[in-house]
Every structure is written in C-alpha cells, then in structure tokens.
Amino acid sequence: MISTTSAPGTNGSGAGLVTDSAELLGALIRYLKARVSLFSIEAKEAGLNYGLAAGFVAAALVLVFLGYVFLIITAVFGIAALLGGGNTWIAVLGVAALLHLGGAVGLVFAAKGKVKEGAFPVTAQELTKDRQWLTSFSRNH
C-alpha cells in the first residue's frame, strides 16, 4: 500500500526544503561570523605582538647605532693617544669621518646600480616575448 504521509521535517508542500535551506544558511552565517570574530581577536593579538617586536627591533637599532658611535670615538681617541696625544684626535676623527662618508657614497652608488637593474627582469622579458608573439600572430591571422 502507498503511504500518503510526508517525510519527517516537511509539510508535504515543499516548504520543508525552504525551511531547511534557510536554517542551513543561518547556520553557515553563524559559523562564518564566529570564524571572523576569532580571526579579528587573533589579528589584534598578532598586531600587538608584531608591533612590540618592531619596537624592540627599532630600539635595538638605536642601541647598535649608539654603540657604533661610541666605538668609533673610542678608536679615534685610542689612535690619537698612540700618535702622541694632544689635539691629534681632531685629525684622526676627520679621517674616520671621511672614511665613513666614502663608505656611504659607495653604498649609495651600489644601491643606485641595483635600482637601475629594475624589478622582475625575467618577467619583463617574458612579457616582451608575449607581446611580440601576439603582434606577429595578429598580423598573420
């Protein structure tokens, strides 16, 4: 014998499918909201951690710079003392300054050379080849 009763969760008119779909969509939205909320909390914590790490690195760089300056000053006065003391430190300090400025100029020229090389040279070559191929292809067809 054929049963005329509908399946559980439906009212026989197809409204159960709509209701079930709406409930599934609602559950999906709640799930996504929970994940976004969790991501937001973790992003704030990560931002704080990375911010602190960046602050520590910045402070370390300042300390390294100061340590370097004090080391150079110590070396200047040490060399001046070996060369006879007095006002010799002025000449030694001048030579140290010129050496540092020369090094800085050399680094600027090295950086300028790297920038002139351009970014993504292989990609640029491949794009040039592609453009040439497309141009020749369009002329032939």
- Name which of 124, 102, 106, 103 is nearest 114 in CA terms: 106
- Could you give the dihedral angle defined by the CA atoms of residues 114, 120, 126 and 128, in that order, rounded to the nearest 10 degrees? -70
Q: State residue 14's pLDDT score.
A: 59
Q: Kindly give, in sequence order, each residue whose CB lies less than 8 Å from that of residue 17, ignoring residues fewer than 6 positions away.
A: 10
Record the pTM.
Answer: 0.53
3-state secondary structure of 72: helix
Are 7 and 14 in contact by the 8 Å Cβ rule? The answer is: no
Domain boundaries, the chain: 17-132
pLDDT, one tens digit for every residue, the chain (141 residues): 455 454 555 555 557 888 999 999 999 999 999 999 898 998 898 888 899 999 999 999 999 999 999 999 999 999 999 998 888 899 999 999 999 999 999 999 999 988 887 778 888 888 898 889 888 877 877
